[in-house]
């Protein structure tokens, strides 16, 4: 019988963070079975260790309730915590991701090389329409872009925390736009300080309304901040996510001069009792 572990990532409280499923031995599962497990859990992602390439390496795949995704940061943190302290190497569909877990259970992943591209004007207009935002809501100091560090995420910054808190998007329209463009989540943020941001991540293509914590988007956002010179070259950035959902998450993003990847750190804690959650306890289920 397949053993499914459940962790809350980017939190020390099982009631916070982003829940993730972890299957440490998925070598006997096919794609349909992994997708069925992910859909049954209802979490935004479940990680499956499907093999051991050798040494400290693990072949890891990630499934949302609707489809496989190339990389997932919070499920990486959860899987690394389940493996325990030490150095691990994850071979993902997006590339090699090293992860270090310290004795306190904090995991630090180093992303694949990030890159940032322009968000075409037509795509920006369509994205704003689906979010029910206007161009006047955007912070001109943080221009819209598309950032990548294993998955693609448009990045939009708003001028007020209140605007960020009032997220109410057109689910079918945003899902269709994201599917067409190959975007995994949308990184929405408000700059609260020189190296502090409040962030939210709609994820309708994965079958959930919103992620309470998104490590892949955090890595991409770190690449965005570095590429645009918006923080110091050796910055440590704090991302607050999940507060608006009642699942507070804290993500640390670190830029290391001379290192192409972005480091993303956070705690992960096992969810006591390991109950089967169902949709009501998923990241945030899309309303029926």
Q: What residues act catalytically? A: 45
Nearest-angstrom CA–CA distance, 182 and 166 = 25
> For residue 47, what are the β-bridge partners?
22, 62
Closest by Cα among 57, 9, 62, 18 to 37: 62
Q: How far apart are CA 174 and CA 286, in angstroms?
A: 12
DSSP classification of residue 245: G
148 neighbors 173 (Cβ within 8 angstroms): no
Which stretches of 160-250 are DSSP H helices?
Answer: 161-165, 171-181, 215-227
The strand pair at 57-63 and 86-92 is best described as: parallel
Alpha-helical (H) ranges within the chain are 31-41, 73-83, 121-131, 161-165, 171-181, 215-227
Q: Record the tokens describing residue 267, joined without a space.
A: 């705690």
Cα–Cα distance measured from residue 195 to residue 89, given in angstroms and rounded to the nearest whole number: 29
Query: What CA–CA distance (Å, rounded) separates 75 from 63?
Result: 10
Placement of tokens 């690449």 in the chain: 223
């Amino acid at each position: 019988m397949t053993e499914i572990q459940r962790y809350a990532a980017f939190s020390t409280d099982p009631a916070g963070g982003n829940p993730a499923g972890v299957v440490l031995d998925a070598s006997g599962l096919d794609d349909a079975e992994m997708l069925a497990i992910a859909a049954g859990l209802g979490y935004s992602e479940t990680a499956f260790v499907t093999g051991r390439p050798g040494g400290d390496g693990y072949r890891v795949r990630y499934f949302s309730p609707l489809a496989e995704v190339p990389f997932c940061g919070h499920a990486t943190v959860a899987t690394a915590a389940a493996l325990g302290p030490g150095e691990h190497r994850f071979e993902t569909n997006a590339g090699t991701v090293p992860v270090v877990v310290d004795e306190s259970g904090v995991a630090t992943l180093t992303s694949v090389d990030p890159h940032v591209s322009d968000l075409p004007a037509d795509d920006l207009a369509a994205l704003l329409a689906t979010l029910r935002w206007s161009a006047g809501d955007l912070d001109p100091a943080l221009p819209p872009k598309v950032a990548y560090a294993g998955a693609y995420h448009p990045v939009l910054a708003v001028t007020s925390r209140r605007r960020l808190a009032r997220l109410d998007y057109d689910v079918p329209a945003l899902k269709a736009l994201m599917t067409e463009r190959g975007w995994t989540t949308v990184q929405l943020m408000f700059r609260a300080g020189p190296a502090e941001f409040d962030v939210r991540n709609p994820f309708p293509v994965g079958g959930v309304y919103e992620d309470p914590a998104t490590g892949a988007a955090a890595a991409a956002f770190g690449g965005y901040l570095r590429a645009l010179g918006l923080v110091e070259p050796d910055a440590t950035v704090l991302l607050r996510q999940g507060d608006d959902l009642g699942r507070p998450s804290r993500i640390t993003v670190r830029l290391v001069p001379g290192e192409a990847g972005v480091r993303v750190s956070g705690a992960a804690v096992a969810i006591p009792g390991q109950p089967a959650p169902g949709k009501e306890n998923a990241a945030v289920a899309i309303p029926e």
